[in-house]
Structure 1
Amino acid sequence: MSKTFTDLTRHALNGPTMGSRWSALFHAPSGFDIAPVKAALQAAVEEVDMQMSTWKPASDLMQLNAAPTDTWIPVPEKVFEVLRTGIAIGQETQGAFDIGMGDAVAAWGFGASEADPVRIRAAFEMKRQPAHEILELNLAARQVRKHAPLALDLSGIAKGFGVDRLAETLIGFGIRDTLVGIDGELRALGLQPDGSPWAIAVEEPDTRIRTPYSILTLQDAAVATSGDYRHWVEVGGRHLSHTMDPRRGGPLQDAPASVTVVARTCMEADAWATALMVLGAKRGTALAEKHGLSALYLERAGNDIVPTGTGPLFRDQAPMSLNSFTTSSRATPI
C-alpha cells in the first residue's frame, strides 16, 4: 500500500465488544469497500467474547469451568491458545498472573453478578493453587483437564487477544499499517502514511478525567495498561483495584496507580501488565528486566505521580508531563 496522502483515505472504524468498544484506524485507497472489513472485525471480537466471556453462561470458558475434574475437555483453538499463554506467564511470574481467580473476581462484583460478602469471605479463606499447577493441557488433542475445582477468568488476557485478532483480521484484507485497540489496549502494525509511527497516550492515573501523562509512539508492537483508576471499589474508605491479588484472594492493596507494558503481541502485554501490577514496582521492575520487557510504573506520592521505567523503551527515562517515548522498529519479543 502506497504511503502517500494523495490516494489514501483515512478510516476509523469501531463497534461494541466486551462491555467496551473496539477500534481500528487505517488508510486505504479511495473507493476501498470498508463494509466487509468492519463486519469481519466485529465478527472477530464477537467470537472471542462468545468463547471466553464469564458473562455468558454458554461460553466455552464457562462450560470448562462447569466441567468435572480429571476429565479431558476439548476447547476451541483460540481458547486453547489463550489458556496456554496464560499458564506460561503464570509460571514465569510464579503465580502473580493467575487465570484461576474467577471466584474472587465474581465475589467482588467485577463479573456478571453483584458483590457477595459470603463469597468474598470464601475467596479469602480458600487454600489456593495457581492455575498453572491445576490445569493440564494436551497440545496434540487440544484438550484441557482440571485436577481440582477451578474458576477460570480470562479478563486479564482475553481483551489483549481480541486486539490481536483485530490486527490479524486486517492483515487478512491486506491492511498491514494500522492501529487497533479495545478499551485502551492497543496494537500498532507498520507506520502511518507519512512514515511516522503511531502515537498513543499513556493516561494519567486519574479517576475523574481522562488526560495524557505521556506520549508513546509504536511500530509493530502492542501496549497494555493495568491500573486502579478505571475499575475499582471503595471499601471502608479504601480505594481497591479490580485486579485480584492471588496471594490473598482479593483486590490488591497498596497497588501502583498503573503499569504500562509494551510487548510483541497485545495478549502478552495485557497479561504482563496484570502480573506487574500484582508484583508492584520493585519486584515487577526486576522481573521485567529479566524478560527484557519495557514497562512504565506510575505511583502516587501525595499529589504527585512518580514514574519508574525499565526495559529498552523506558529505562533511564524521567518522564515529565507529555514526555514522548519511541519504540525501536519492533518490540522486544517475550
Structure 2
Amino acid sequence: MSTETQALQRYSLSGATMGTRYSAVLYAAAGLNLQVIRTELQQAVDQVDQQMSTWNPQSDLMQLNAASCGQWLSVPDELMWVLSSAVRISAESEGAFEIGVGALVSACGFGPEKPLSALPGKQPSAREVLDIDPGNGRVRKQMPITLDLNGIAKGFAVDQLARCLERHGITSYLVSIDGEMRVSGVKADGSEWCVALEKPIKGQREVLGSLALSNTSIATSGDYRHWREREGTVFSHTMNPHTGAPLLSELASVSVLCTSCMYADAWATALMVFGVARGAQLAKAKRLSAIFVLRDGDALREVTVGL
C-alpha cells in the first residue's frame, strides 16, 4: 500500500432523490471541499429527476408523453442519451427491455394515477414509434405511446454521480441509489468494495450474500420491493412487453454487473423478463455477469453467469 493511498480519508455524502436517497462513499485527500461536491451530486440527481420522472408532469419525459404525434420536441442531452440507449437495448434484448410500457405500468397502479380495472394490453415498442434525432436534439412520436424510464433512469443517475466525483479527480468511491451501485478503485486499505446482495423477500431486509467489487456497476431487478395484488394474483412492477401484462416468473431477482450502471439496470430488467433459461443464454452471448435468484419452494437457489 502506498503512502498516498494511506493518506486518503473517508467521506460519506447522501441526499434525497427519486422518492429514496442516493449515497456516496469516497476516499480522497484531506481538505476536500465537501459542500461543493455535495451540491454537485444533488444537482446531478435532481437533473435526472427533472428530465425523466413520471411523477412530475412538468418533466421532459412527461412533456414528450403529452406531445402530439408527429410533433418534434427538443430534449436535453441526458434524456436523448437515455432514450437512444433504451431503444438500442430493446433491440439487443429482443424487446425484453421496453420503455413503451408506461400505460401498462400506470394501469397496474405503479404510477401517480389510480390503477385501472382493465389493462391496456400489449403496447407498441418505443423503437418502432420514436424518431430520435440526436444531431438536432429532438424526438417525435409516430403514434401515441406512454414512455416509462424507471428501468434505466436510476442506473443512469448513479453513473452521473460517478461522473461528478471523477470530475473532481476522485477515483475511489461507491455511489448508489437503492440497489443500483457503481464502484471505482479500492478502499484506502487496498481492499475491494464489499457489496451486499439482498434476499428477495417481501417486507424484509436480509443479506443473501456479498460480492467484492472494483471498477464495475451492479443493478438488481426483482419482485420483492414494489408489488401489488390484483384479483388474488401478486405481481411486481416489472412488465412483460411480450404479453402486455405484469411479469409472472419463477425468478425472484436478477443482478447484472457491467461497467455502466445504466446498462446494468436495463439488462437486469431484460433478463428478469426472459427468465433463467433464456436469460442465462443471453447474458453469456452479451458477455454480461449475472446472478439469477429463483424461488425453489421455501428455499432460494442461485444461478450465476460470468462470475
Q: TM-score range by the shorter chain?
A: over 0.9
Two-structure CA RMSD over aligned residues (Å): 1.4
| 2:64 aligned residue | 64
Q: Does 1:4 align with 2:28?
A: no
| 1:268 aligned residue | 263
Question: Deviation at 1:175?
Answer: 0.8
Q: Is the Cα–Cα contact under 8 Å of residues 119 and 245 in structure 2 kept in the other structure?
A: no
Question: Deviation at 1:9?
Answer: 2.3
Unaligned 5+ runs, structure 1:
314-334
Aligned partners of 2:245 and 2:96: how far apart in 1? 13
Q: Does 1:175 align with 2:176?
A: no
| 1:189 aligned residue | 184
Q: Does 1:154 align with 2:155?
A: no
| 1:13 aligned residue | 13
- Which of 225, 228, 242 does residue 223 from structure 2 map onto? 228
Structure 1 221/230 Cα, relative in aligned 2: closer, same or farther at 3 Å?
Answer: same
Question: Deviation at 1:239?
Answer: 2.1
| 2:160 aligned residue | 165
| 1:331 aligned residue | none
2:205 alignment partner, SS class: coil
Aligned partners of 2:45 and 2:223: how far apart in 1? 25
| 1:328 aligned residue | none
Structure 1 3/156 Cα, relative in aligned 2: closer, same or farther at 3 Å?
Answer: farther
AA partner of residue 5 (structure 2): T
Question: Deviation at 1:264?
Answer: 1.2
AA partner of residue 289 (structure 1): K
Question: Deviation at 1:279?
Answer: 0.7
| 2:81 aligned residue | 81
Aligned partners of 1:106 and 1:236: how far apart in 2? 17
List structure 1 runs of 4+ shifted beyond 4 angstroms: none
Residues 244-323 of structure 1 aligned to structure 2 (within 5 Å): 244-311=239-306, 313=307
Structure 1 115/4 Cα, relative in aligned 2: closer, same or farther at 3 Å?
Answer: same
Q: Does 1:211 align with 2:202?
A: no
TM-score by length of structure 1 reads 0.88
AA partner of residue 261 (structure 2): C
Question: Deviation at 1:113?
Answer: 1.9
Question: Deviation at 1:122?
Answer: 4.3
| 2:107 aligned residue | 107
Between the two proteins, the alignment pairs up a number of residues equal to 306
Question: Deviation at 1:226?
Answer: 0.2
Question: Deviation at 1:129?
Answer: 2.1
Aligned partners of 1:29 and 1:293: how far apart in 2? 34
Q: Is the Cα–Cα contact under 8 Å of residues 108 and 119 in structure 2 kept in the other structure?
A: no
| 2:120 aligned residue | 123
| 1:38 aligned residue | 38
Unaligned 5+ runs, structure 2:
none
